[in-house]
Amino acid sequence: MMRSEPIIYELSAPGRRGYSLPKCDVPEQDVKDLLPEAMLRERAPALPEVSEVDVVRHFTRLSQLNHGVDIDFYPLGSCTMKYNPKINEEVVRLPGLANIHPYQPEELSQGALQMMYELDQYLCEIGGVDKVSLQPAAGAHGELTGLYVIKAYHEDKGEGHRKMVIIPDSAHGTNPASAIMAGYKTVEVKSNEAGDVDIEALKAVLEKYDGEIAALMLTNPSTLGLFEQGIEEVASLVHKAGGLLYYDGANANAIMGISRPGDMGFDVVHFNLHKTFATPHGGGGPGSGPVGVKERLAPFLPVPVVEGKDGRFYLDYDRPKSVGRMKGYYGNFGVAVKAYAYIRTMGPDGLRQVSEDAVLNANYLMYRLKDHFERPYDRFCKHEFVLSGNIQKREADVRTLDIAKRLIDYGVHPPTVYFPLIVDECLMIEPTETEGKESIDNFAEAMLKIADEVKRDPEKLTSAPHTTVVGRLDETRAARQPDLRWTPAAGAEGE
């Protein structure tokens, strides 16, 4: 039986300490002699006082209340929850990679710079682009960077009046959010019944905003897990209209070594190292969202860029057309190291097999489930597929949310729910290539049992989950009466 864990503050006792520091070996001047009294802290920070044992037990017990890829299946669509190789965790902790300062002399950072340069080249090869910036810290950050690059490109050509970005109705929320943040306006383009961008609808949008189109943002395969069959026409239409094509790399796990976004016509591509390239998700980061571009857009990439010449690697700041800096330093190096190690481990054959197995696993799982759950698109999928909970809703007024909560009782993490928005009661399922057949069968069987429960005993779903440390949580209360930090008065269990 799982126990809930107190808040760390609730384990505190005055005088306990969890740390040890050396005695001060320089003259112990009074703080008041070194800093003006008016700038001294009035009240000591009310941090908890716990022993090291407390800290370790506390966080270890918290970890036991959590599900990760290392525990079981985690089929979140478009997240690519694949296995995180342990050797990558080991090598990133080498002092020569972890304990290096971004401003230390370049001659004494050649290993780091070389690794970044090589990763740049590998990503270019995989994506079909010409130059990569490793600076963006996540996919959304990569999108924003890519959009700034597109903006700068248009402005440089005297086309700064182009203010519209086209986004499909199936797109991830970061796409429109990034476009707005970059100062663009967005217009939606509909998907057709096959799940592809509706070409006629696209033509209508291009005509309506003739001369104003800056870009079209697309992910391929789409968030429905389907390859855009008309991608060549889409690319041609957008380019003819004077716009650029942006590739959201969230779904790149389906096509490595099989097809490349750069060859499809995309001008700007972002990669999610924490998805396709096996770096851990960390409970919400850190990620890394490198941006790759075709040659003519390279001058606009954020600064600095890593360059190499005659075996010497350096940071190139001499880029007058750059959009500027997107964050401090050079990017999430500690994440890039793991992606680099992964690519060096898999090699070209390995990466292609990753995509082939990911696609096989998804189609197999889809076929195991398609007779029991509504399947909106009658096509082979790529690395992920969508189902709808509509049958169950009609049968017993059970929602996809309830299916998800019941899956938790079967020990697996539910798939993504209610996204993409264009499918009713949506379930988006991505097994990834690191799941064995047994794991996939296990999940399929859980889903089939649940489909059966819907008919016989739907209350099991609507009251789920039953096996976790807490039952279904009151999200309405959390939003209506936000309690976002611990205070001594609010320590009690419930109210």
Smallest separation (angstroms) from another protein to the CB of 93: 8
| Residue 237 in tokens | 């239409």
Nearer to another protein, 158 or 436 (CB): 436
* Residues paired with residue 211 on neighbouring β-strands, in sequence order: none
Nearer to another protein, 56 or 204 (CB): 56
Q: CA–CA separation, 366 vs 77, rounded Å? A: 13
Nearer to another protein, 59 or 457 (CB): 59
Smallest separation (angstroms) from another protein to the CB of 457: 18
Q: CA–CA separation, 326 vs 136, rounded Å? A: 7
Nearer to another protein, 177 or 448 (CB): 177
Smallest separation (angstroms) from another protein to the CB of 60: 7
Smallest separation (angstroms) from another protein to the CB of 15: 9
Smallest separation (angstroms) from another protein to the CB of 267: 16
Nearer to another protein, 109 or 241 (CB): 109
Q: CA–CA separation, 407 vs 72, rounded Å? A: 12
Nearer to another protein, 203 or 418 (CB): 418
| Residue 19 in tokens | 């740390």
CA angle 292, 420, 381 (to 5 degrees): 75
Q: CA–CA separation, 420 vs 195, rounded Å? A: 11
Smallest separation (angstroms) from another protein to the CB of 210: 22
Long-range contacts of 453-457 (CB under 8 A, 24+ apart): 453/406, 454/392, 454/395, 454/396, 454/398, 454/403, 455/395, 455/396
Amino acid at 288: S
Smallest separation (angstroms) from another protein to the CB of 466: 10
Q: CA–CA separation, 52 vs 20, rounded Å? A: 10
Alpha carbon dihedral 448, 450, 453, 454, in 10-degree steps, equals -100
User: Residue 393 in 3-state DSSP?
Assistant: helix
User: Residue 247 in 3-state DSSP?
Assistant: strand
Nearer to another protein, 4 or 457 (CB): 4
- DSSP for 219-230? -SS-TTS---TT
Nearer to another protein, 158 or 482 (CB): 482
Smallest separation (angstroms) from another protein to the CB of 296: 21
